[in-house]
Amino acid sequence: MDTAAIIWILEIAGASFLGGVVGAISGLGGGIVIVPVLTVFMGMPIQQAIGASIVSVIAVSSGAGSVYVRDHITNVRIAMFLELSTASGAILGAAVLSRFLNADTLKILFGFTLLFSLVPVLLKLAEELPENVQSDRLAKWLQLQGSYFDKRMGREITYNAGRVPPAMGIMFLAGIMAGILGIGAGVLKVLAQEIAMRLPTKVATATSNFMIGVTAAAAAGVYLHRGLVLPFVVVPVATSVLVGAILGTKLMEKMSNTMVRKVFAVLLGIIGVQMLMGGFHVKL
Amino acid sequence: MSEPEQSGNPTTAPAQPAGGVRNENIIQDVSAWVLRIGVVSSVLVMALGLTLAFIHHPPSVHHMQTAVLNDHLTVILHGVMSGDGESIIDVGLFILVLTPVARVLASVILFALVDRDWFYTAVTLIVLILTLVSLLFIH
């Protein structure tokens, strides 16, 4: 037996396990860990790493999603309604805008947007549950309000959903980003729900987690067709990311909303910096 | 820990008929099961494919870094019939990619048949169509 081959698979599996844990807690999928490990440490071309990342996002979204949906932390109506914006944006991005927009410019704009959006997240870092949130008319008509049982607090949390139109705008942008770059949609999805709609953080990350699988499946066609999905890479990625994601759901359900927001804030900063570095071609 | 009751939020759930809550639960339970069955079966099929690939002819690191997924269904089916590990991995990958799509399809059916909520049926149907168009036609 070729030990080099086994070690190679185990390295991918280790990074994917960690990606699954972090991805399930933050609602961002596993790419944040998997892409840097595959490219920087294992020398894989970025496009193939994104192909692996898309597979990981689908596995995390489905694995963690099955737990969050069963436990009613995911708001299925919010997910379905916002997916409409993302799916339209993704088609527009992939089919039309990718011909006109320069990927580097987009990464720079995206990077600055994310770093600016750190400010509102940090300002309410200590807030366990959003207060004084009124459902807007659209949210009431769409029945987006909901409730979930918080295992940490040991009680049912009822919440409203505010400012749906700006959330739809952000979700549309998330779709455009996903359609052009193949990555980065999850972070805008959490922000749309956390900053615009002011949902409890756990609901925001669990609902984002539910949505990213559909966006990733839509983007998968391009990567499959262009031969950017490597079968021997995706097996360790999908299996370990799934195990990590299930562990991630157990951790997240027992965390406070402030703790989940802290995890998200750290990743938000990292992704913002990564995007800027990518856009300006700065390499570590 | 913050104040337990939020002043601006209603303390009771929004007025909803009892049937609505039960239907909501059916949609959630079915979505959860579709996701679970899809992701677990795809991972099992992939693991089987990887095991077979290693048993038949252990791939080198170079082969694993360069082997590309075959997206011709006839080639994959032929490979599966002959017990080719790589083709079986490809099948697992297709199951995985189709899992979120199956979840959306299940939502369309449930919003229509169980909830009779035509607005959400239309929303999920459009999402399903847009997703399939990107998956199949944008290359």
* One-character DSSP codes across chain B: ---SS-TTS-SSPPP--HHHHHHHHHHHHHHHHHHHHHHHHHHHHHHHHHHHHHHHSPPPHHHHHH------HHHHHHHHHTT-HHHHHHHHHHHHHHHHHHHHHHHHHHHHHTS--HHHHHHHHHHHHHHHHHHHH--
Mean pLDDT, to the nearest integer, of A140-156?
93
Q: B17 touching A, CB under 8 A?
A: no
Q: Distance, in angstroms, between B74 CA and closest chain A CA?
A: 15
CB A258, CB A194: distance < 8 Å: no
The pLDDT score that the predictor gives to residue B21 is 59
From A48, A105, A29, A79, select the one nearest A231 (Cα to Cα).
A48
Residues of chain A with pLDDT > 90, as a percent, come to 63
The pLDDT tens digits of the residues spanning B50-70 come to 999 888 878 888 888 888 877
CB A183, CB A35: distance < 8 Å: yes
The pLDDT score that the predictor gives to residue A249 is 97
Structure token pair of residue B8? 């601006």
Nearest residue of B to residue A212 by CA position? B100
Q: Is a pLDDT exceeding 70 seen at residue B22?
A: no
Q: Is a pLDDT exceeding 80 seen at residue B18?
A: no
Q: Is a pLDDT exceeding 80 seen at residue B16?
A: no
The structure's pTM equals: 0.91
CB A159, CB A133: distance < 8 Å: yes
Q: How confident is the model at residue A178 (pLDDT cuts 50, 70, 90)?
A: confident
Mean pLDDT, to the nearest integer, of A272-281?
90
The residue type found at A204 is: A
Nearest residue of B to residue A226 by CA position? B139
Mean pLDDT, to the nearest integer, of A218-222?
88
Rounded to the nearest 5°, which phi and psi values hold at A199?
Answer: -85, 160
- State chain B's mean pLDDT as an integer: 83
**Which residues of A132-249 form beta strands (DSSP E)?**
146-150, 155-159
The pLDDT score that the predictor gives to residue B10 is 42
From A35, A173, A12, A234, select the one nearest B97 (Cα to Cα).
A234
Contact A239 B39 (CB under 8 A): no
Task: Let me know how long chain A is.
Answer: 284
Contacts of B56 in chain A (CB under 8 A): none
Q: Is a pLDDT exceeding 70 seen at residue A219?
A: yes
Contact A220 B135 (CB under 8 A): yes
Round to whole Å and give the CA distance between A194 and A204: 6
Nearest residue of A to residue B137 by CA position? A221
Q: How confident is the model at residue B6 (pLDDT cuts 50, 70, 90)?
A: very low
The pLDDT score that the predictor gives to residue B2 is 39
